[in-house]
Amino acid sequence: MSNNSTIIIVGASFAGLKTAWDLRHKLSSDHRILVFSNKPTTTIRASFPRVVFEDVKLEDITIDLAKNFEGTGIEFICDPLVSVDQENDVIVTAAGRYEYDFLVLATGARHAYDELPGSREFALSVCDPARIMETKEALLNFTGGDVYGGVGAGYTPCDGPPMEMLMDLDHRLRMLGLRDKANLHYFTDKGRLLPPGGPQVWERLECLFREREIHVHLNVDLVRLDSTLLHFKDGATKPYDLCLLIPPYRGIHALEGSGLTDARGFVPVSPQTMRADKSTRYNVYAVGDAIANPGPKQGHLALIQAGVAAAHLAWRITGEGTVPAYLPEFKCVMDLGGGHGLYMYSQWLSDGSVVEIQSGPEPYASKIRFEEMLCELRGDIGDLHLKMIK
Ligand SMILES: Cc1cc2nc3c(=O)[nH]c(=O)nc-3n(C[C@H](O)[C@H](O)[C@H](O)COP(=O)(O)OP(=O)(O)OC[C@H]3O[C@@H](n4cnc5c(N)ncnc54)[C@H](O)[C@@H]3O)c2cc1C
């Protein structure tokens, strides 16, 4: 390997930011690190419940990427990826072509509204920065009726955000004395509430939903919405006033002809290294929501995967250092409303036995502190995500 590698990272959210910083710390300045994004900013979507129900402004949770990387030795280029030419080690962007020695894809998931008819027109988004203010307005003006929150059929491995919004809405309606005017429902195509959490998490959530009188519908596949009805795969329909939805996930269009993806457009990777299984020249990696491997799509896992990919790349380039084992763990702080949160940690995904569940103001404050530190540290969080709450 030459003394001056060029490493291109595409995507500048949780996965891209951490990969870039970890590599910058591990490699000398002879090695170029370029980060590309299709947007000049990145928004911390985990804070959306606070944008909707509190006074948090979108700009408070948005990082200006050019400013973020100024003087860091990491070059930032705002220019969307259009395709990957694996054979020539080149990415094609809207503005040009860039050669790489190593490529890291941290491009997240696309919200495939087209896979679920009516989801763009009739549902409120809980995950799209361009639509979250519309969701806020609808929820703050809601005074009664049937609210459904959940995930659409056809692969949406991110069940938590609609749950949080329902918990916050439940709290708000109780404070306003309107709770008896509303029926709140949670629906999912999965058989459990947050399956990756394991049995103790499932039990705690079932209890919480019962206490809050939020009806749970498991194993239901939402396949279509019109302006008044939700249509499920088994032919059932439900009338609704508001639907809070995460649409099906797919990989980004730019990876379609790359030869790197599975049928849904995600990139299968080796869990030991995060190197793409279909990388013909063995030099393409993928991390975060962009990967095809089983498991939930969570920011926490995106950060762990970024740590593994950066360590493996640095070891390949310098012959030094070690690569941590990838042991996916479930970690989530769910807003409960009223400044309280529910912290759930479990090693169920990696056959570990540690489970921690804690509710109250501390988990909520800790999540806010983590997000503030992510911005203050310009995304250079080291292992902070592993220590949050613990
Ligand atoms: C409402 C909500 C709440 C959540 N809460 C939590 C939580 O509490 N805890 C948790 O762990 N996770 C949470 N998540 C999940 C978490 O946000 C995602 O798992 C995480 O953002 C994934 O990070 P990523 O970097 O892989 O992808 P993304 O965050 O999706 O970032 C993808 C990046 O790629 C860029 N990009 C896309 N296409 C192109 C292109 N063609 N060219 C160049 N750049 C491109 C994007 O601009 C972006 O910078 C939540 C998600 C939502 C929606």
What are the average pLDDT values for consecutive 10-residue runs of the chain, which has 390 residues?
86 98 97 98 94 93 96 98 98 98 98 96 94 97 98 90 97 98 97 96 98 97 97 97 96 98 98 98 98 94 97 97 96 95 96 96 93 92 78
**pLDDT at residue 384, as a whole number:** 84
Helix (H, G, I), strand (E, B) or coil at 284: strand
- Would the pTM of this model clear 0.75, i.e. be above it? yes
Q: List all residues 6 or more positions away from 145 whose beta carbon is below 8 Å from its beta carbon.
A: 181, 182, 183, 240, 241, 242
pLDDT value of position 101: 98
Q: Quick check: helix, strand or coil at residue 271?
A: coil
Query: How far apart, in whole angstroms, are the C-alpha atoms of residue 279 and residue 260?
Result: 6
- Distance (angstroms) between ligand 1 centre and the Cα of 26 equals 24
User: From ligand 1's centre to the CA of 201, what distance in Å?
Assistant: 24
Please report the atom of ligand 1 found closest to the CA of residue 300: 11
The residues, any chain, with a CB within 8 Å of residue 21's CB and separated by 6 or more, are: 74, 378, 379, 380, 381
Which residue lies with its CA nearest to atom 21 of ligand 1? 299
CA pseudo-torsion sign 143, 248, 337, 57:
negative
Between CA 193 and CA 202 the distance in angstroms is: 6
132 CA from centroid of ligand 1 (Å): 15
Domains in the chain, ordered, with CATH?
6-109+251-328 (3.50.50.60), 112-248 (3.50.50.60)
Count Cβ neighbours within 10 Å for each residue of 345-374 and write b for 16 or more, e otherwise.
bbbbbeeeeebebebeeebbebbbebbeeb
- Output the CA torsion 17→22→25→29 (10° steps): -60
| 297 alpha carbon – ligand 1 mean position (Å) | 9
Closest protein CA for atom 18 of ligand 1: 299
- Mark 134-145 as b/e (b = at least 16 C-beta within 10 Å): ebbeebeebeee
User: How many of the other CB atoms lie within 10 Å of CB of 33?
Assistant: 25
Ligand 1: which residues within 6 Å by Cβ?
10-16, 36-39, 42, 45-46, 48, 80-81, 106-109, 126-127, 158, 160-161, 252, 254, 288-290, 297-300, 302, 332-333
Looking at residue 146, its pLDDT comes to 98
**CA-to-CA distance for 120 and 225, rounded, in angstroms?**
9
Atom 19 of ligand 1, nearest CA residue = 298
Q: Tell me what pLDDT residue 387 has.
A: 79
Distance (Å) from CA 37 to ligand 1 centroid = 12
| Residue among 14, 22, 168, 349 to mutate when testing ligand 1 (max atoms within 8 A of CB) | 14
Angstrom distance (rounded) from CA 320 to CA 189: 45
Ligand 1 centroid–CA 178 distance in Å is: 34
pLDDT of residue 390: 47
